[in-house]
Amino acid sequence: MRENDMLEKEEIFSRVLRAGRRTYFFDVRSTKADDYYITITESKKFTEEDGSFHFKKHKIYLYKEDFTAFKEILDEMTTYVLDHKGEEVISERHQKDFKKLFGDKSEETITTESFTDVSFDDI
């Protein structure tokens, strides 16, 4: 690979967001014309039954001419989610933490003694 090609791929500025099994990489890179663009890479770890693991990566290239519209839509979407679902995270990990704190009620046996006997005549 030529030296010029390697410089093209060099990150100018980078940030990393670790989020459980996912890691997001935000990188400012330079084009051949010496302009900047952003790459956003999601890397997700998958563990096999034998203990080995691999990563799947997805990448978005974001160019300056799209920054304003991208930011507006991202702001709109994140606001929508927070307005409709709040900031509390409901996930598999959250469920496990809940079970640790309060016990796992999902495996309790439900018996007919748990129910109140109601007749339609009573209503």
Least confident of 25-29, 43-47, 114-118: 114-118
Q: Give every CB contact of residue 11 below 8 A, 6+ residues apart in sequence.
A: 27, 28, 29
Q: With cut-offs at 50, 70 and 90, classify the pLDDT of residue 92.
A: low
Mean pLDDT of the chain: 79
Structure tokens at 7: 């410089």
Count CB-CB contacts under 10 A for residue 51: 6
| % pLDDT > 70, the chain | 65
Q: With cut-offs at 50, 70 and 90, classify the pLDDT of residue 12.
A: very high
Q: For position 89, what pLDDT does the model report? A: 78
Pairing state between β 22-30 and 53-63: unpaired
| Topology of domain 3-105, CATH | Nuclear Transport Factor 2; Chain: A, (3.10.450)
First CA to last CA distance, the chain: 82
Single out the residue of 57, 61, 53, 4 nearest to residue 27, CA to CA. Answer: 61
> For residue 62, what are the β-bridge partners?
38
Quote the pTM value. Answer: 0.61
Report which of residues 61 and 96 the model is more confident about.
61
At 40-89, the pLDDT tens digits run: 999 998 888 888 888 899 999 999 999 999 999 999 999 999 999 888 87
Return d(Cα 49, Cα 47) in angstroms, integer.
7
Q: For position 96, what pLDDT does the model report? A: 64
